[in-house]
Chains A and B, each alone.
Chain A
Amino acid sequence: MTVGPGRARGSLERERRQAYWLVAPAVLVLAAVALYPILAAVWLSLHRFILVFGERRFVGLGNYAYLLGDARFWSALGNTAYFTVVAVGVELLLAVPLALLLQRAFPGRGLLRAAVLVPWAIPTVVSARLWAWMFNPDYGLINRLLLGSDINWLGAPGYALHAAILVDVWKTTPFVALLVLAGLQGIPEDLYKAARVDGASPWRTFRSITLPLLKPALLLAVLFRSLDAFRVFDAIYVLTEGGPANTTETLSIYAYKTLMRSGDFGYGSTLSVATFLCVVVLAAVWLRLLGRQEEAR
């Protein structure tokens, strides 16, 4: 009887087909909500498409050629990169001490842990509006606190982007701190005990135990935050709408203005696709680093 292997192959085949059926809904949903819009944006980006006048013409890579020579695109890319690097850097620097503080046992810790989340819980549009008032050069709280300063926070190039970074740092430092705190709690207590027995100084303990073991959590935080910061829109839109002189214009703001305000769907899609590609590259780099971490373990 040689039916055995044949039947086995048949059932394997059937099982595989069943597996396809089982994942099909998920794949379909993903295709509908993620893949289709991306492909549609890519397809649109190959056209000159002005919705209002029904102008629609295939221009191939014309929009991309224009993009390469578009000074406004490059300055938006520069602003976005600067915003991301500085904001995420400062957030990490502030979040690690904050997390160490939150980990210590002291009365009222639960309350404090909840309280630091308040900035993160307020909708960005609301907090940005609050900050816009605080930054007002004539009536704002900030200039009053800096006794007699008349810095035009949101109106002067050079200051405005930093004001936006400050708002982002204020809002997301607690979130990063919580991610770091989760990482801290994953570090076995024994290691610290051993270090104490060996007579290591607190600084040495931090450098040789805490920091290396915290690395995956830090990388994860950087991954989340940098992808988020790179697409920043709401805070800046409320604070400055990209002004003065586009010094706070990020890629998302530029794409939004081109798409929604100007109604230029072709070039607006080109900008969206460019932003998307930047984010993909960024994500790939971080995931690679994260993967290497895992392997090293």
Chain B
Amino acid sequence: MVRSFFVVLVLGVSVLSAGCRRGGGSGSEDGRDGAGSTRLVLKYQPLWGPPEPFRELLAGFERDNPGVTLVTEALPNSSDLAHQFFLTSLEGGAKDFDVLVADVVWVPEFARAGWIADLSAEFPPERLREEFLPGPVEAVVVEGRTYAVPWYLDVGVLYYRTDLVPRAPRTYAELERFALDAKAKVPGIQGYVWQGRQYEGLSCNVFEALWGHGGHAMGENGRVLLETEAGREALAYLRGLLVSGVSPETVMGFGEEEARRIFQEGRAVFMRNWPYAWSEAQKEGSPIRGKVGMAPLPTVSGEPGFGTLGGYQLAVNAHVSPERRKLAAKLISHLTSPEANLVLAVHYARNPPRAAVYDDARLKESSPFIAGLREMAERAKPRPVTPYYNLISDVLQSEFSAAVAGLRSPEESLKRAQKQVDHLMGEGR
């Protein structure tokens, strides 16, 4: 805690001082400072890791564009807080930043609100579809127009203990059998840990189960459709994991870190999590080092499952002048190039959204783990792409939580969720 506090403090101070040094405080409306150079502001969340490679990436842009000074400003690490920041500042017509990061679920919302610029001219949707993986493209193209460019991605995957199960399970039935067999052999071990606390992570787990049962959540005219056969099966499956003892009752209080700690201590056979848990598990001194495998999530049919898409995109603040917008689009193009994808992957363990980067020899050489994620990254799927997602996510979390806790049947939970979602989305959808 104390350490991370200092990291944040140091980061904050360095960002501030960088801002002062470069901007010199002479911030006029169009962002030109005394020397006649343009000051371009990038608002993003800290990448952690060593600062030099990213700084070098930014310096490359300044070299290619003489007269432009780049300033970076840090956002809170929590996605919720960052969203609240943008909600208030963009609603107020803020012009003090040009390029911003956006979580996957914000893009349709910000686009609908008119806060981020249409980038279809610079990044036509067809070109994005050719170069990027399908999941992230689906999240940034709203009604046929491009509003953001994928920067790095995250995807839900299954971790398993290679010493306790014969291979990665392909179906839900296999997962349950393997878990119960291992539990019978190793006393005190838990089966399958995942994220069951009432928060967005639970929704990710539920959507994965929904897709794994062959369902989807988008109906006609952009309606979010929850009351489906696959929806009921998905919730019944998650509840069933607790009832049958495949998962401990405590998953109802788990977020990512709680699940990871249990798995890392060698106290669970399977875990659903994001790829970040891999390097922790394989760290020197980790009790499960060398005994961990990673695979796509299982499904009913045995086809590799879809993992929920996470990660960040870069977008342009629609409130800034057209001239600055053009420059901002150039910066996005620079930061999302194959080279930039590689820098972020190698130095910051951020998974590339560009398909070709996974075949790059340099990536395979220095980060074989990320190169091996390709199959899962290809099957990263966005949660319902609707401007109303943030509006309804709270309802989804609470009703999913009720079904997982066994307070209400899956039918009842979905019925209640559907009613509230329809009310919230109103006729606006």
In chain A, positions 61-76 with a C-beta closer than 8 Å to chain B are 66, 70-72
Tell me the smallest distance from the CB of A287 to a CB of chain B, in Å: 35
Q: Does B26 contact A (CB under 8 A)?
A: no
* Interface-side segment among B277-285, B355-363, B420-428: B420-428
Say whether A244 contacts B401, CB under 8 Å. yes
A244 touches B198 (CB 8 A): yes
Which residues of A lie under 8 Å from residue B407 when comparing CB positions?
Answer: 157, 245, 247
- Footprint of A on B, CB under 8 Å? 80, 84, 87, 91, 109, 112-113, 196-199, 249-250, 252-254, 258, 261-262, 387, 390-394, 397-398, 401-402, 404-405, 407-408, 416, 420, 423-424, 426, 428
Bound-complex Cα distance A258 to B423 (A): 13
> Could you say which of A44-52, A82-90, A177-185, A218-226 contacts chain B?
A44-52
Given A48-B426, A243-B398, A152 and B250 contact (CB-CB distance below 8 Å) = yes
Interface residues on A, range: 35 or more
Which of A48, A150, A155, A156 is most buried by chain B, counting CB atoms within 10 A of its CB? Answer: A155
Measured between beta carbons, the chain B residues less than 8 angstroms from A155 are 196-197, 249-250, 252-254
Least CB distance from B36 to A in Å reads 37
Which A222-247 residues sit within 8 Å CB-CB of chain B?
Answer: 240-247
In the assembled complex, which residues on chain A have CB atoms less than 8 Å from the CB atom of B262? 138
Interface status of A261 (Cβ within 8 A of chain B): yes
> B250 near A246 (CB under 8 angstroms)?
no
Give A55's nearest chain B residue, CB to CB. B428
Partner pick for A154 among B199, B253, B398, B420, CB 8 A cutoff:
B253
C-alpha spacing A246/B394, complex, angstroms: 10
Determine if B426 and A72 form an interchain contact, defined as CB atoms under 8 angstroms apart.
Answer: no
8 of the cross-chain contacts (CB-CB < 8 Å) are A53-B113, A152-B249, A155-B197, A156-B252, A157-B407, A243-B197, A262-B424, A267-B424
Q: Which chain B residues lie closer than 8 Å to A261 at the CB level?
A: 80, 390, 393-394
Task: Determine the chain A residues whose CB is within 8 A of the CB of B402 once the complex forms.
Answer: 245-246
Question: How far is it, in angstroms, between the C-alpha of A66 and the C-alpha of B419 when the chains are bound?
Answer: 11
Interface 1/0 per residue, A254-277 and B, CB below 8 Å: 000110111110010000000000
In the complex, what's the smallest C-beta–C-beta distance from B414 to chain A, in angstroms?
14
Tell me the number of A-to-B contacts counted with CB atoms below 8 Å. Answer: 99
Q: How far is the CA of A255 from the CA of B307 in the complex (A)?
A: 32
Interface check A249, CB cutoff 8 A: yes
Separation of A27 and B401 alpha carbons in the complex (Å) = 47
CA distance A99 to B292 in the complex (A): 58
Choose among A54, A70, A138, A244 the residue that contacts B197 (Cβ–Cβ < 8 A).
Answer: A244
A137 within 8 A of B: yes
List, in ascending order, chain B residues with CB within 8 A of A71's CB: 416
Within the complex, which residue of B112, B253, B423 is in contact with A152, where a contact is CB–CB below 8 Å?
A: B253
Taking the closest CB of chain A, its distance from the CB of B304, in whole angstroms, is 31
From A50, A72, A150, A242, contact of B428 by CB (8 A): A50
Residues of chain B lying within 8 A (CB to CB) of residue A257: 394
Q: Top 4 nearest A-B pairs by Cβ distance?
A: A155-B253, A243-B198, A245-B402, A245-B401
Cα A263 to Cα B83 with chains together (Å):
11
DSSP class of B's interface residues: helix, strand, loop or mixed?
helix
Closest to B262 in A: A138
Decide if B398 touches A242 in the complex (CB within 8 Å): yes
Residues of A within 8 A of B196 (CB): 155
A260–B276 CA distance with the chains assembled, in angstroms:
30
**Is A72 touching B113 in the complex (CB atoms < 8 A)?**
no
Please state if A52 and B113 are interface contacts (CB–CB under 8 Å).
Answer: yes
A246 neighbours in B (Cβ, 8 Å): 198, 398, 401-402
Contact B405 A263 (CB under 8 A): no
Residues of B within 8 A of A258 (CB): 394
Instruction: Check if B401 sits within 8 Å of A260, measured CB to CB.
Output: no
Would B423 and A66 count as touching, CB distance under 8 A? Answer: yes
Return chain B residues, CB-CB under 8 Å to A152.
Answer: 249-250, 252-253
In the assembled complex, the CB of A190 is this many whole angstroms from the nearest CB of chain B, namely 57
Q: What residues of A have a CB within 8 angstroms of the CB of B261 in the complex?
A: 138
In the complex, what's the smallest C-beta–C-beta distance from A254 to chain B, in angstroms?
9
Q: Which chain A positions have C-beta within 8 A of B112?
A: 52-53
Distance of A283 Cα from B361 Cα, bound (Å): 72
Query: B91, B196, B252, B404 — which one has the most chain A CB atoms within 10 A of its CB?
Result: B252
Cα distance, A220 to B388, chains bound together (Å): 46
Contact among B401, B424, B426 for A243, CB-based, below 8 A:
B401
A240 to B91, CA, bound (A): 29
Q: Within 8 Å CB of A66, what residues of B?
A: 423
A70 → chain B closest CB, angstroms: 8
Alpha-carbon distance A71/B398, docked complex (angstroms) = 12
B348 to chain A, nearest CB (A): 29
Report yes or no: B391 in contact with A244, Cβ–Cβ below 8 A.
no
The chain B residue with its CB closest to the CB of A263 is B391
What 0/1 pattern do residues 135 to 157 of A give for CB contact below 8 A with B? 00110000000000010101111
Write the chain B residue with the least CB distance to A155. Answer: B253
Residues of B within 8 A of A138 (CB): 250, 258, 261-262
Supplied contacts A245-B405, A261-B393, A264-B391, 14 more A-B pairs, CB within 8 Å = A48-B426, A52-B87, A66-B423, A137-B253, A138-B261, A155-B196, A243-B197, A245-B401, A245-B408, A247-B407, A261-B394, A262-B391, A263-B87, A267-B424
